């Protein structure tokens, strides 16, 4: 079960790293991996192949997280969470991950990739 929780966090952070790069507003509180996990955990079944379609809850989380991303610091934190957890998961389908924001109505003008350089995230 702990392995599933790690998968949820990694899937959430993969999505968040890109979705969060989009928001340009400043915030007073930093985003945490726990918040990313909470918002995007409903997406895990889809991005790991256990569900054939994206749930409403997944899209709600993607949209909510996009709204929470207030600073480049938040987006860098999300990206770094991904980097620290990426090696612990093998079943994420990056093709599905990269398509989630678009399927949820969130515009991302660059490809989603596990190789994103977190230092360049704005």
Asked, for residue 44, whether it belongs to a domain, the answer is yes
Asked, for residue 60, whether it belongs to a domain, the answer is yes
Asked, for residue 51, whether it belongs to a domain, the answer is yes
Asked, for residue 109, whether it belongs to a domain, the answer is no
Residue 82 has pLDDT above 90, yes or no: no
Asked, for residue 98, whether it belongs to a domain, the answer is no
Residue 50 has pLDDT above 60, yes or no: yes
Domain with 68, as residue range(s), is: 2-93
Asked, for residue 86, whether it belongs to a domain, the answer is yes
Handedness of CA 72, 61, 90, 94 (dihedral sign): negative
The reply to whether the predicted model has a pTM over 0.75 is no
Most confident of 13-17, 60-64, 97-101: 60-64
Scored b (16 or more CB within 10 A) or e, 94-107 reads: eebbbbbbeebebe
Q: Per the structure, how many domains does the chain have?
A: 1
Asked, for residue 42, whether it belongs to a domain, the answer is yes
Asked, for residue 100, whether it belongs to a domain, the answer is no
Q: What backbone phi and psi angles, to 5 degrees, belong to 105?
A: 80, 20
């Amino acid at each position: 079960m702990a392995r599933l929780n790690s998968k949820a966090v990694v899937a959430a952070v993969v999505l968040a790293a890109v979705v969060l790069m989009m928001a340009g507003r400043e915030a007073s509180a930093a985003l945490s991996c726990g918040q990313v996990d909470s918002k995007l955990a409903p997406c895990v079944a889809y991005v790991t192949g256990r569900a054939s379609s994206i749930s409403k809850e997944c899209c709600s989380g993607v949209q909510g997280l996009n709204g929470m991303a207030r600073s480049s610091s938040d987006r860098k934190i999300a990206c770094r969470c991904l980097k620290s957890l990426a090696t612990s998961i093998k079943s994420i389908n990056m093709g599905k991950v990269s398509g989630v924001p678009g399927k949820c109505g969130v515009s991302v003008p660059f490809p989603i990739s596990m190789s994103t350089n977190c230092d360049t995230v704005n």
